A = this chain, B = another copy of it.
Amino acid sequence: MSHTTQNTFTGADVVSLRDTLRPGDVDAVGAIVTATGKFRPGEIAVAQELVQETLARGEAAGYLFTFADAGERVVGYACYGQIPCTLTSYDLYWIAVDPGLQGRGVGRLLVNAAEAHVRRLGGRRMFIDTSSRPDYAATRAFYERCGYTCEATLRDYYATGDGKAIYGKDLCTGP
């Protein structure tokens, strides 16, 4: 993914997408994921480790990234990759947008860019895991607006009373 998609989301700011990592992205990801208020400290550490590991090992780490920048500032990102032991299935591991900029289409831009990237790599299905908790209703509704269907729910998965909802989408309709 070498192209840059741009989208004006306020009167002044333009969001540009990039798929190359910068060292500052470790802190940027920590800040955005923390700001969403949706993740435990251990989960935030995992999000940052995936950036760090990819900076260190490159593609061999197995993770792909798309970042949304407004000028010099990171305002959102997606992390995705081929699911180990599958031939054509990918997982959108993380997607987060600065809470102050949610509802302006940045998340949708990131999902579209991730799906386009996966299609170019031959991926046929994209999966997203999220929580089944009531406070994730807006997140689940966002995935549904992006064309994802809840294909399964595993109760007490993340913690007792906190189930996992597994969303899926076919990325190609051909044979």
Contacts and interface: CB of A to CB of B under 8 A. Distances in A.
Interface string A137-166: 000000000000001111111111000001
Interface stretch (A20-28, A71-79, A84-92): A84-92
A113 to B, nearest CB: 23
Contacts of A42: 85
Contacts of A56: none
Nearest to A40: B85
A65 to B, nearest CB: 18
Contacts of A168: 154
Nearest to A42: B85
B158 A86 contact: yes
Interface of A: 40, 42-43, 46, 83-89, 124-125, 127, 151-160, 166, 168, 170
22 contacts: A40-B85, A42-B85, A43-B85, A46-B85, A86-B157, A86-B158, A86-B159, A87-B158, A87-B159, A88-B160, A89-B156, A89-B157, A89-B158, A124-B156, A125-B156, A125-B157, A151-B152, A151-B155, A152-B153, A152-B154, A152-B166, A156-B170
